[in-house]
Homo-oligomer: A and B are copies of this chain.
Amino acid sequence: MDYTKMCSKYESAAELLGKKWTGLIIRVMMGGPKRFKDIKEQIPDMSDKMLTDRMKELESHGIITRTVYPEMPVRIEYELTDKGRDLEGVTNSIQAWGEKWM
């Protein structure tokens, strides 16, 4: 990697992934399709509004999909796209570093 100058793709990725709660949400989503409450369960300190905002943002970046199942009551599931699942290298490296140093 060329460390002598900044890379705009790295910059964009770091800005998106570095937002508060986003790294935690992506880790939870690695476990497969989730409902809103499943995510909240693992990140209880995050407000509903914040989770809603983050999920919208991740959806707009093509990292998750939101599927509405027309049942009674309506069921909504979130799932990683290929682009989202491809973040496994990032979450794994953060986990490995965290286990060693935190």
A89 x B93 contact (CB < 8 A): yes
Interface size class of A (residues with CB under 8 A): 35 or more
Name the B residues within 8 Å of A28 (CB-CB): 3, 6
Bound Cα distance A85, B91 (Å): 18
Whether A71 is near chain B, meaning CB under 8 Å from some CB there, is no
Chain A 1-46 interface residues, beta-carbon cutoff 8 Å to B: 1, 3-20, 22-24, 27-28, 30-32, 42-43
Please judge, given known A-B contacts A95-B1, A101-B86, whether A18 and B13 are in contact too, CB under 8 Å. Answer: no
Flag whether A96 is at the interface (Cβ < 8 A): yes
Q: Is A92 an interface residue (CB 8 A)?
A: yes
Q: With an 8 A cutoff between CB atoms, is A76 at the interface? A: no
Chain B positions within 8 Å of A20 at CB level: 15, 18
